Amino acid sequence: MEDQTRLDELFVTLVRFPEDKLIGVERLCETIKQKDSSFHWETRKINNQWTLLVYSASKNQAKQRGEWLTAQTPILQGLTYETTHRITLETALRERPREVLGLREYLKRKREGL
């Protein structure tokens, strides 16, 4: 059942936070999850910064969760958040293919020391 719910949650709230707050953020989210079964979350290191990802069914819900988390919870208070579509986030996090250079471009970069 939880997997189906997760498929319906297409919007993500992202809150970046310092590494020293990781344990506190995870405890906070576990507490919220116990009270609200629709609260799905994970923490992930994105571009060398810890980020809380909260999944929501609608853009409005994602925005409201971001506002609440950054205004009402002491550990995240004052931080900024952003909302995005889950597909956009997954596309951005996917590993990019390696660049293939032609011989001329390779030699040019080698001469320039790049």
Distance CA 26, CA 42 (A): 8
Distance CA 17, CA 52 (A): 8
> Using one digit for the tens of pLDDT, what is the confidence trace for 54-83?
999 899 999 999 999 999 999 999 999 999
Average pLDDT, the chain: 84
Pairing of strands 40-46, 81-85: unpaired
- Range 75-104 average pLDDT: 76
Give the CA dihedral 64, 52, 73, 26, nearest 10 degrees. 130
Residue 1 has pLDDT above 50, yes or no: no
Res 33: pLDDT: 95
- pTM, rounded to two decimals: 0.72
Contact (Cβ atoms closer than 8 angstroms) between residue 49 and residue 1: no
Task: Domain ranges for the chain, please list them.
Answer: 2-112
Percent of the chain whose pLDDT exceeds 70: 82
Distance CA 49, CA 51 (A): 6
2-112 maps to which CATH number? 3.30.70.870
